[in-house]
Structure 1
Amino acid sequence: MRALPSSEIYDALLALCYESVVDDARWSTLLAALASFRPSAQLPDVGGQPSGGSDDDHAQPFLNLQAAIDVLADGKHGELPGRVAPHLDRARRLFEIVSGLREDLRRRDLLLDSLPTPLWLLDEQRRVAYRNAAAMRYAAEPDSALCEQGGYVRPRRATTGRLETAIREALGRAGPARSTHIASGSASGAEIIVAPLPAPEPDTARPHTLGAVSVLDPAVQSRHLAQLFQFSPAEARLASGLQQGMSLADYARSQGVAISTVRTQLRSLFMKTGTDRQGELVSLLMRLSRQ
């Protein structure tokens, strides 16, 4: 096997340096390439790039690589470490920037995924740039007001034109950006909300996300409240009826149950929500439903 010229080795090391900026596994490959120059040298173990922790934890693999270059400095290709070192340091700084962006996105995803409300973020081409966990679950339901088709948010029943117009208005394509509420036409009475988002800073490396589409679906909110307070199915139905303004007598007739049964369920709702009066209970449920 012919020996590689120094220029080819240098180019290969530089490629590994900058590949490592976006691929953690390449740091180990880079160390292995350096070790191949001096197989007998005792090089530090680069290890895996940590996914979290302090700045010192993040810097350790790069410090190990710098140490590896020092060990190799007197080898056959001793002129290379000095040429590679500045690029290695630049790759380290770029990796820290990329890691910071990834951490920002991870925190954003954790925050948005904790929301019970379906939410889609749109880019300037009106395509879905992000959807939270609630949106993925909601879009998979056959009776939902919205779904995804070809990377775009689409209504299941309302006319597509109304949603497209609202998105254009939110993105500022038809004058100043503004929010729009659309009745979905679904049996649950869901309301679609399309709103503009602040434009990113000019020097940011993040993708442009300029619009948001969300759904306020009473059925989704009722399920969230039931999970939050551990309502039984019967208690959840009563809570929903009270939010719709039904009296206990009207609700009992609609369900075909005795008023005494409904009063027992109401007392259970009081206990689980920490409320004492029907008006206080309804006020709490209405406030939480709007979150």
Structure 2
Amino acid sequence: MRLRPPDRFGSLVTLRLLFCHGAVDFNVGVTTGGGGMTGFSTSDLALLLYQAAQDKNRWPVLVAALQETANPFDDDAIYRNPAARRELLDQLLPHISQALDMADRFESQAVSQNLLDRTLEMLPMGVALLDDELNIIMLNQQADRTLAEHEMLANHDGHFKINNREQHKLLHHYIERSLEDGSSHALMLSPGNPRSVSLLVCPADLVKDRDDNDPPAVTLFLSNPDFQSLIDEQTLTDLYRLSAAEAELTRDLIHGYDLRSIAQRRQVSELTVRTQLKSIFRKTETARQAELVSLVLSGLAPLRGRESVTAKVADDIGESTGLRYCKGAHGQRLCFAEYGDPQGVAVMFCHSVRGSRLEVPGGDSVLRDMHIRLIIPERPGYGDSEALDERTVDDLAEDMRCLADHLELPQFHLLGYSLGGFLALHCAARLGDRISRLGLVSSLAPPGKEAGKPLKGMMRLAVALADKAPGLAETVLDHMARTILKNPRRHLGSSVDRKLLAEPDHQERYLLALRESCRQGSMGFVQDLQAVARTPLPEPSSLALPVYLWHGEQDGQVPADQAIQLDRWLTNSELTLLPDGGHFFIYSRWPQILANFVAE
């Protein structure tokens, strides 16, 4: 049931539809009655297309340029002249096609480079790329750590340095030899020292493809003085079918501990340790400790696993129940997670468009302290929830009902954040007395004169694209998601939000949820935007329950006016405006919001 992402031809078709049928009107290079020009010229947009193809950080600039020329106006000549729109499209299409081809090539190169980088990070040794003057071109994390921690080595302003004149000269000589004849050379630093490091100089093409235009360079491998600390217990379990206790014992043996000290450290009898060791010998088909250590160190156990999030944030989020599933209204797989106190007040949370079941802005400990049971379902197309074609707000409301029935919740509070607030409001209107109270944080209001001003700017463009050209919208949003992951602060709407997400914990929580939201691509996001464009305004009488609204006056994504007008439209609402709050203030005020929301 998943929707297939569009190919390049599909993107061109959707662009043609946008131009020729008036979903979005690019008023570029058009002379108005006064002799001026509206919007961007064709050459301006073409240049931005090529820049975005080479650098995804330019996508927001391109989209902003399109935004300025995307809104139709009755007094715009090109809006009233379809022939002019088609002529303009014919001028841009060759550039679009070439830019997409370029983007495909760059994307392929980036994927290959990313795969290489991730592989190098898993190696139990340092890898560096140096030029003929020992300038550092590239380092993996292990090499960077070795240079920072080992007394014989240093990264001196981007220059690889051995803190011994003779050995530094010898390394330089080995690099020159390797560049001349492709030979490899080894060098031992501090022989006899338990923390000695070995260096191996090799031709650069052993690790990275190079062409004639690349500067001369070599690959330098650095041994790890703490090699045994990289042994991964889970890998030992997978390779040799060891229990957790047996894997821990194997690692302790590799670290050099004897059986007696291991028993003392683990507070068990030495007989227990010897019994576990016999089991390890049997499973690994070894007979002596030396043979066991040799087997492990020559195998895959020293390869480091990929870490997805920081341990501190992952522990604090505390998704102890792991992935949980139930069937949605159409029989599809619905993924959700629970946090906090299992016996606490039940609150169902509608995550944002860049969120997922991992979007817990203030962590799990707050929920336990406040006796709140937070339930976060992932909407179809997000995270691990199965996608639905042409899903609507009615589908989301019925999925929510199915989840509540699955959890045996006769009634619950409903809290929504950002565009998740828009969806929560519509679901509350459909679920009646199953919802005891509704909370909306930084929420988008339903479009319509009664509930706020019409959508503007980037959101207006995104909604128009999702409604009329979902394939193109998905492509654009995929690109933007990858760009945000690289530099989240750069793409926030206000200085208040940039400052807030500069804090490591807040930023990691945001990126954790964002990465998971993009697992299946951006079609879930597109379908949420389609709901904004296509869902009629609910009747105020269907929302007579208590509604609590929180909104930041410095919100650069959803203006505070949306919350003010929504508060006026609702019949039983309470609005809290935060003068210093941006769009992401939920990360810093999570406890206060929850306390206000669940208070009797």
Tell me the TM-score normalized by structure 1.
Answer: 0.64
Pairs within 5 Å for 1:102-141: 102-123=110-131, 126-141=134-149
Distance 2:90 2:105 in 1: 24
1:221 matched to which residue of 2?
227
> Is the 8 Å Cα contact of residues 231 and 302 (structure 2) preserved in structure 1?
no
Change (3 A) 1:119 1:31: same
Q: Write the deviation string for residues 187-241 of structure 1: whole angstroms up to 9, x where unpaired.
A: 223211111122846489xx66841111224x322222376655468634427xx
Distance 2:278 2:159 in 1: 43
2:63 matched to which residue of 1?
28
> Is the 8 Å Cα contact of residues 153 and 162 (structure 2) preserved in structure 1?
yes
Paired-residue identity, % = 16
2:320 matched to which residue of 1?
none
Q: Does 1:191 align with 2:198?
A: yes
2:41 matched to which residue of 1?
9
RCO greater where, 1 or 2, for CA within 8 Å and sep 6 or more? 2
Distance 1:14 1:4 in 2: 20
Pairs within 5 Å for 1:1-291: 4-5=36-37, 9-21=41-53, 22=55, 23-36=58-71, 38-39=72-73, 74=82, 79-123=87-131, 126-143=134-151, 145-157=152-164, 159-170=167-178, 172=179, 175-185=180-190, 187=193, 188-198=195-205, 200=209, 202=211, 210-217=217-224, 219-225=225-231, 230-231=247-248, 235-238=253-256, 271=279, 274-275=283-284, 276-278=286-288, 279-285=290-296, 287-288=298-299
Distance 1:33 1:9 in 2: 12
> Is the 8 Å Cα contact of residues 13 and 33 (structure 1) preserved in structure 2?
no
Change (3 A) 1:225 1:264: farther
Distance 2:35 2:133 in 1: 51
Q: Which amino acid counterpart does residue 287 of structure 1 have in structure 2? A: S
1:54 matched to which residue of 2?
none
- After TM superposition, give the deviation of residue 105 of structure 1 in Å: 1.1
SS of the residue 1:35 aligns to: coil
Q: 91-100 or 20-29: which moved more? A: 20-29
Q: Which runs of 5+ in 2 are unaligned?
A: 1-31, 237-246, 261-268, 304-600
RMSD: 4.2
Q: Which amino acid counterpart does residue 103 of structure 1 have in structure 2? A: V
SS of the residue 2:187 aligns to: strand
How many residues align? The count is 237
Change (3 A) 1:33 1:76: farther
Tell me the TM-score normalized by structure 2.
Answer: 0.34
- After TM superposition, give the deviation of residue 280 of structure 1 in Å: 2.4
Distance 2:228 2:91 in 1: 64
> Is the 8 Å Cα contact of residues 131 and 137 (structure 2) preserved in structure 1?
yes
Q: Which amino acid counterpart does residue 235 of structure 1 have in structure 2? A: L
Q: Write the deviation string for residues 144-181 of structure 1: whole angstroms up to 9, x where unpaired.
A: x43322222222446321121122222x2xx3121110
Q: Write the deviation string for residues 106-138 of structure 1: whole angstroms up to 9, x where unpaired.
A: 111111111121111234664322211212222
- After TM superposition, give the deviation of residue 31 of structure 1 in Å: 3.1
Distance 1:262 1:159 in 2: 47
Change (3 A) 1:165 1:148: same
> Is the 8 Å Cα contact of residues 199 and 220 (structure 2) preserved in structure 1?
yes
> Is the 8 Å Cα contact of residues 45 and 62 (structure 2) preserved in structure 1?
no
